[in-house]
């Protein structure tokens, strides 16, 4: 990466996934862990979800996005990238806060997997009850 207007890395989290994203002024090339977005995330819907902030702000071809993601699954990683891109755009232009906030892109989704309880096969499921 060159020294051309490299922005500070922003962090996004979702479930167990953590994403660090850098925005670079450029032609719209995206990389996730050195791979293309569709190559890494496997589904077009997840790619659209991950870069939703750019669509909302009408900045689709203006920035190159370099993302490093770890933890969780593909859905959580796409959500983490989504939040990190929104935060990076916000650090670039504070006027986008209202637009990104209305779409819910700046709010951390706090839903996590519920822990398994003892005496049960899962978080909520119970073993079959037998009266006799």
The model's confidence at residue 28, banded by pLDDT at 50, 70 and 90, is confident
Q: Is the pLDDT of residue 8 over 90?
A: no
Give residue 1's pLDDT. Answer: 47
Q: What percent of the chain has pLDDT over 90?
A: 86
**Cα(35)–Cα(19) distance, integer angstroms:** 14
* Cα–Cα nearest to 80, from 18, 16, 32, 8: 18
Q: What percent of the chain has pLDDT over 70?
A: 95
- Please state the rounded mean pLDDT for residues 79-90: 95
pTM of the model: 0.88
Q: Where are the domains of the chain?
A: 10-102
User: pLDDT tens for residues 29-54?
Assistant: 999 999 999 999 999 999 999 999 99
**Cα(25)–Cα(65) distance, integer angstroms:** 9
Question: What value does the mean pLDDT of the chain take?
Answer: 92
- The single-letter DSSP state of residue 112 is -
The correct CATH number of 10-102 out of 1.10.8.350, 3.10.450.230, 3.30.230.10, 3.90.1150.10 is 3.30.230.10
- Please state the rounded mean pLDDT for residues 112-132: 94
């Amino acid at each position: 990466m060159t020294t051309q207007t490299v922005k500070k890395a922003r962090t996004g989290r979702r479930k167990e996934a953590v994403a660090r994203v850098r925005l670079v002024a450029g032609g719209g090339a995206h990389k996730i862990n050195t791979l293309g977005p569709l190559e890494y995330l496997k589904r077009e819907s997840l790619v659209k979800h991950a870069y939703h902030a750019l669509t909302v702000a009408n900045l689709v071809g203006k920035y190159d996005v370099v993302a490093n993601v770890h933890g969780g699954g593909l859905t959580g990683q796409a959500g983490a990238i989504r939040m990190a891109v929104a935060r990076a755009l916000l650090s670039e232009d504070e006027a986008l806060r209202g637009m990104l906030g209305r779409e819910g892109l700046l709010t951390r989704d706090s839903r996590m997997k519920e822990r398994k309880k003892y005496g049960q096969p899962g978080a909520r499921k119970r073993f079959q009850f037998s009266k006799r």
